[in-house]
Amino acid sequence: MDRESFKKEVMRFYNRNKSRGKAFTVRHFEKQGEKESSVLYIIKQAELNPPQRGRRTPFADASNTPTTSGRVVKRTPTNKPSATTLAQLEGYSNKGEKMLETCRERCDQCLSGSNFRDYDWVLENRAGFSLMNNQGSHTQQYYISFPGMRPPPPISRSNYIPVLDVWIAFSNKGISEPFIQPIKAKFDANTYLEECVKTKLVPFITENHDLEKTVLWSDGSGVYTNKKVLAHLESENIEYVDKDLNPGNRVKCFTYFWNLLRNNVYNDGWRAQNEQELENRIRHCLKHMNLDTVKQIANDTPHRLSEMALTGQIKEWSDNKQKYTEMYNQNI
């Protein structure tokens, strides 16, 4: 008996004796010399993946309840979405349009109502870094072995899991001192206030910028908008983008900064053996980073806000990524 015929035979017997349970079907075919795992696999696959068409087959019976006469009645699926599905789709569409309109309005308010158009923009953010570059982590690599050559070391998926949490701020004046800690450590409002704001962010702003013409753009999450954090910024006379005016990361330029830093850290396939080696590498790359492109990214912030406020659209991420990468390589 071929494989397909065996599947059909198993499902026919199982559907006739479904009330006795799967074990009855397994024992029946075990007496015929079949493996228990093979029989259970066929039944489970039929239950998990019933056919989409309306015709009655031995495999369709596993996911349906037979009538008193033993005949299985299967409803024919329809391609027409239900009223609930249509309402959900309409809600998702309206939600996306509402978020885009809110983003556009907030960009306009940041430039006009709050008069931040001619200000120096200080951007801050944090990101996770892994022992290896996680780009293309799902790509299978094959190697050709030659006699006398040692094969490359095996790559574990754990190497792609972020192990360090890196916080940093930058502007058109340069880059602040970074704050780096294990990603498993807690990054709450107190940690952010004591380790980032007081010791790194405020000194960076006060030493390099005119406080009357500088605005801080932080993330909109609870850590950055904590009352203690905002109170300390106000005590230092540092203006910031209010949570109600924050357009969100869609317009933010920090993604391009992380892209440039990752390119330097993981250049030529570099990978770290431990967290300390990775931290040393990040600090070294930040110290020797070319600042011309970084300053340009900060200066482009008002232009991106204006572009969103006027047109409701911004350039594709890949276009700006290529622009900044080429600019960075030319300035090296």
- The predicted pLDDT at position 290 comes to 85
Q: How many CA atoms lie within 13 A of 109 on its CB side?
A: 13
Of the pLDDT bands very low, low, confident and very high (cuts 50, 70, 90), residue 100 is confident
> What does the pLDDT look like over 74-85, one tens digit per residue?
455 545 444 445
Q: At residue 331, does pLDDT exceed 70?
A: no
> What does the pLDDT look like over 300-314, one tens digit per residue?
888 888 888 887 776
Of the pLDDT bands very low, low, confident and very high (cuts 50, 70, 90), residue 104 is confident
Q: Rounded to the nearest 10 degrees, what angle do helices 291-299 and 254-265 cross at?
A: 160
Annotate 195-214 with DSSP letters as a single string: IIIIIIIHHHHHHHS-GGGE
Three-class SS of residue 17? coil
Three-class SS of residue 215? strand
Could you tell me the pTM of the whole model?
A: 0.63
Mean pLDDT over 167-175 rounds to 94
Closest CA to 320 of 245, 258, 242, 243: 258
User: CA 144: distance to chain centroid?
Assistant: 34
- The predicted pLDDT at position 179 comes to 97
Can you tell me the distance from the alpha carbon of 39 to that of 216, in angstroms, rounded to the nearest whole number? 64
Mean pLDDT over 127-148 rounds to 62
Q: At residue 190, does pLDDT exceed 60?
A: yes
Helix (H) or strand (E) holding 70: none
**Pairing state between β 214-217 and 179-182:** unpaired
- The predicted pLDDT at position 19 comes to 79
Mean pLDDT over 255-280 rounds to 91
Q: Calculate the alpha carbon distances from 63 to 44, 76, 220 in Å.
A: 10, 14, 47
Q: At residue 5, does pLDDT exceed 90?
A: no
Percent of the chain with pLDDT over 90: 30
Maximum average pLDDT range among 31-35, 204-208, 215-219, 244-248: 204-208
- The predicted pLDDT at position 84 comes to 46
H helices of the chain, in order, are: 3-16, 22-30, 36-48, 83-108, 189-191, 202-208, 227-235, 254-265, 275-287, 291-299, 301-311, 317-331
Structure tokens that stand for 295 in this block: 């300053």
- The predicted pLDDT at position 93 comes to 53
Q: Show the beta-strand stretches assigned E in 53-163.
A: 120-129
Q: Calculate the alpha carbon distances from 185 to 142, 252, 310 in Å.
A: 36, 26, 42
